[in-house]
Structure 1
Amino acid sequence: MPKVLVVDDSVSVRKALERILAPRSLVVSSANSAEQALEQITHDKPDLIIADVIMPGLSGFDLCELIRKNPVYGHVPVILISGIVDAAVLRQAEEAGAFSVVRKPFTPEDLLPRVDAALAKFAPIAPDAPEPVKPAPAPLEPTPREALPEEYLRPFLEKPEVEAALLVNRKAEILSQVGQALVDPSVIATYARTLASIAGALGEHLGGVGLQGVSLEYQGRNVFLAKLSSDNFLVLIINSATTPGTVRYMVQKAASQAQSLRA
């Protein structure tokens, strides 16, 4: 029987989804966070994931993006549920690779047709009918508007306090990375993209103030996010000895180089 993983921090929503899915003879499991879901699917891959958009920690959008990037379970469809379904939510869901978005509160009539469609579309092919092998598309060459060459990140490493530098686009894809090896850099990129998005939204509520950067201070290590363009932003991993002024100067220099590259 097909397996469905329900991801929501609300027990009542998880129970409601389990009741709605029960008549479909599905094996339903649940997780109370995106982080727990990512751990579960590594040893029990579902055929479908239904996830709330707004959750503590990683959002449903973040979960969907991380699933898409994984070669093992990247094909698993994700249906997102949200109390608000507007153009912005639909656009972000599409960018994250979601199969569909269902508005809360939902009924069986709202949800089950989406579930059936997702399971039918992504059903595994029988062994006697293998999927035809399609030629892989030619890799796209990065353009100046999509990425900055690695050389534009390397000057940051001239400062011994800078441990790593990443260039990330608005889809949380790492375009360039230099410096020390990081554990799960794609997760760092996703969190950074989410923080930059939240900070930008806050600026809009402050009268349309444009986002310049976000500084996060931890014990012995800082993280600095800087917007380089409408599509790309910079992530710096630095130790706490670096002064904010030094970081801002380096970022301004990189931003001016980015502008000249796009010109």
Structure 2
Amino acid sequence: MPKVLVVDDSLSVRKVVERALGTKRIDVLSAASGKEAIEQIGHEEPDLIVCDVIMPDMDGYQICDYVKTHPHLGGTPVLLISGIVNSTVLERAAAVRSDDVMRKPFTADELLTKIDTLLESSKPAAPAEPEAAPPAVEAVAFMPEPSPPVPAPPHESRAPLADLKTVLAKLAALPGVSLSVIVDRDGFLIESAGEMLLEAEVAGALASCLAESSEGIGRELGQGKFQGMILEYEAGLVILNGVDPTTMLAVVLRDAAALGKVRYYVKKALPELAGAL
């Protein structure tokens, strides 16, 4: 089973990657800092490293350079992730021999495609077909029977991404609802369901900005933490609710008449979403 190390100081990003890879037979390791990443790289020798460019102690370029100059691990693929991907980022990534650069936020499918490609490209070439062996002599009947195979130890099971997707899909299927989105407080899209013609990433990022500014207002007025809000527009409504301290739910309604029923189901879904996260 291949091992993938995820290096990011954002817990939400690490969760997104872990859940995306939880749908495949991949052992996911995580590190919240450069120092922790270096320790994991030395102890675990991962098959692939997904690393954020900006972190508090060591940046992703330094970690990539460490891997690529390592005497035994230099062939390990490194995928750098960054909120900004411009010529400067690409030049620095090339200088440390990063295998690829991916812009944040990204979807689970985009991440899986990148990881599958990098893991496949890092596999050693298949050995040449050996020459046919001579016929076995009949004395083979006296050979001892092979030992039975030792069963592999069970690996730790992870909650599949479908759990979160299923809850969001139920909300998106309600009459009058166009889209349901889970984002973190930085606007990073975790999962979405509904009419994909809508820009889920944009909806999530804007919802995050609104929630952050609204929480600031509540803090200044002594009203405590942000719980939720309803935004009214000419073509419909947007319901925002905090799921946990780091994530938020945005539900887009095209029919204002459905508000009461949708709010009821949203409140019921919040504990399920928190559990799925």
TM-score, normalised to structure 1, is 0.47
Instruction: Provide TM-score, normalisation by structure 2.
Output: 0.45
Radius of gyration: which is bigger? 2
The answer to which structure, 1 or 2, has the higher relative contact order (CA under 8 A, 6+ apart) is 2
